């Protein structure tokens, strides 16, 4: 199943959902947690972790979108998949809200063949699920259960520039710039789920062009060519309210637009970007 934000046709955000095999190993404290996403979108990683901050190195046969989630007790994998199907595929608002109510989205990072994704996240005691959200179809057996238990190893997210979501669906205005590469922390202080995405402004285009583009789309007018090149940038996994993660990145220097395509079910699943969740960010 593909978590396609039922958008306005022009830009699609996808968060497929899939994944799992197990090496029922336990990671030693402080070690990097090695994650492998197979060709068939199964996640292979230790199924027991200590509470605290972990560094995850994600390798993947093809493109993958590794995502950690923390389900409420009683919410099942099959219920999740049914809710996602109904929400994303059929626009069922109640199903979508049930999914958001029963699942904390704890961050994620994408990887490609030959290009690993690296993220840090703080895990609390309890049960998590790990999955690849990229594929269009997913079965409960592809969602890997990870138990977080035992003594906390503590730790904190690495020092990094911090991008923040606030309000209902807005970006904090600072920082105005981040380095071209390194680590970035994605902090969600808002009350909704968000992707943290960067997409490069095309040469000669400005944020005013993006304003006009977004206005045309929300008004149902022909927006013309996108002033943003969506293929240059990054998109994190989904970071839920009160959650934070850090990830490695490496981008060409330039002007970017920070965007989020998480849908608003009460507004016809309109992605947050089209509700105003975008701003300029200088890289490098």
Question: Residue numbers of the site for Cu ion (CB under 5 A)?
Answer: 169, 194, 260, 262, 272
| Encoded tokens for 182 | 């390194």
First CA to last CA across the chain, in angstroms?
Answer: 36
Work out how close the CB of 166 gets to Cu ion at its nearest, in angstroms, rounded to a whole number.
11
241 close to 190: Cβ distance less than 8 angstroms: yes
CB of 168 to Cu ion, least distance (A): 9
Cβ distance to Cu ion smaller for residue 79 or 162: 162
Q: Which residues pair with 278 in a beta bridge?
A: 259
Nearer to Cu ion, 54 or 194 (CB): 194
Min. distance of Cβ 265 from Cu ion in angstroms?
12
Looking from the CA of 183 toward its CB, the CA atoms found within 13 Å total 13
Give the contacts of 247 (CB within 8 A, at least 6 positions apart).
109, 117, 118, 119, 120, 183, 184, 186, 234, 236
Taking the complex as a whole, how short is the minimal distance between the CB of residue 114 and Cu ion, in angstroms?
30
Beta bridge partners of 144: 130
Shortest gap between Cβ of 96 and Cu ion (angstroms)? 14
The sign of the CA dihedral 1, 63, 279, 172 is positive
The token duo for 67 is 């995502």
Reading the block at residue 42, the tokens are: 């199964």
Residue 214: DSSP 8-state: H
Nearer to Cu ion, 144 or 169 (CB): 169
Q: How far is the CB of 225 from Cu ion (least distance, A)?
A: 24
Distances from the Cα of 6 to the Cα of 12, 81, 109, angstroms:
7, 17, 22
State which residue, 193 or 246, has the beta carbon closest to Cu ion.
Answer: 193
Looking at the Cβ atoms of 37 and 260, the one nearer to Cu ion is: 260
Residue nearest Cu ion by beta-carbon distance: 260
- Cα distances from 87 to residues 35, 101, 198, in angstroms, run 29, 13, 25
Beta carbon of residue 134, minimum distance to Cu ion (angstroms, whole number):
19
Report the 10 Å Cβ neighbour count for 44. Answer: 19
CB of residue 195 vs Cu ion: minimum separation in angstroms? Answer: 6
φ, ψ at 157 (rounded to 5°): -60, 145
Tell me the backbone φ, ψ of residue 283, rounded to 5 degrees. -110, 125
Closer of 169 and 244 to Cu ion (Cβ): 169
- Indicate the residue among 17 and 277 with the shorter CB distance to Cu ion: 277
**Whose Cβ is closer to Cu ion: residue 58's or residue 239's?**
239
């Amino acid at each position: 199943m593909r978590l396609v934000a039922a958008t306005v046709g022009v830009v699609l955000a996808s968060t497929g959902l899939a994944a799992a095999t197990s090496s029922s190993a336990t990671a030693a404290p402080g070690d990097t947690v090695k994650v492998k996403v197979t060709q068939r979108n199964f996640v292979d990683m230790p199924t027991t972790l200590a509470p605290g901050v972990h560094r995850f190195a994600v390798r993947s046969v093809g493109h993958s979108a590794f995502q950690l989630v923390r389900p409420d007790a009683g919410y099942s994998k099959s219920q999740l998949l049914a809710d996602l199907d109904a929400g994303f595929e059929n626009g069922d608002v109640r199903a979508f809200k049930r999914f958001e109510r029963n699942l904390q989205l704890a961050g994620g990072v994408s990887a490609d063949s030959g290009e690993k994704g690296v993220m840090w996240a703080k895990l609390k005691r309890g049960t998590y699920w790990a999955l690849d959200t990229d594929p269009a179809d997913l079965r409960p057996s592809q969602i890997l259960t990870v138990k977080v238990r035992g003594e906390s190893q503590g730790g904190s997210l690495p020092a990094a520039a911090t991008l923040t979501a606030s309000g209902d669906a807005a970006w904090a205005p600072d920082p105005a710039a981040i380095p071209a590469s390194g680590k970035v922390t994605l902090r969600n202080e808002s009350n909704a789920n968000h992707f943290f995405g960067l997409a490069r402004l095309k040469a000669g285009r400005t944020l005013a062009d993006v304003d006009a583009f977004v206005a045309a789309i929300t008004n149902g007018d022909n927006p013309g060519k996108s002033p943003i090149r969506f293929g240059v940038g990054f998109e994190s996994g989904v970071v839920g309210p009160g959650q934070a993660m850090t990830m490695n990145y490496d981008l060409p220097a330039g002007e970017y637009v920070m965007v989020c395509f998480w849908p608003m079910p009460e507004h016809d699943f309109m992605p947050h970007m089209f509700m105003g969740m975008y701003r300029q960010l200088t890289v490098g």
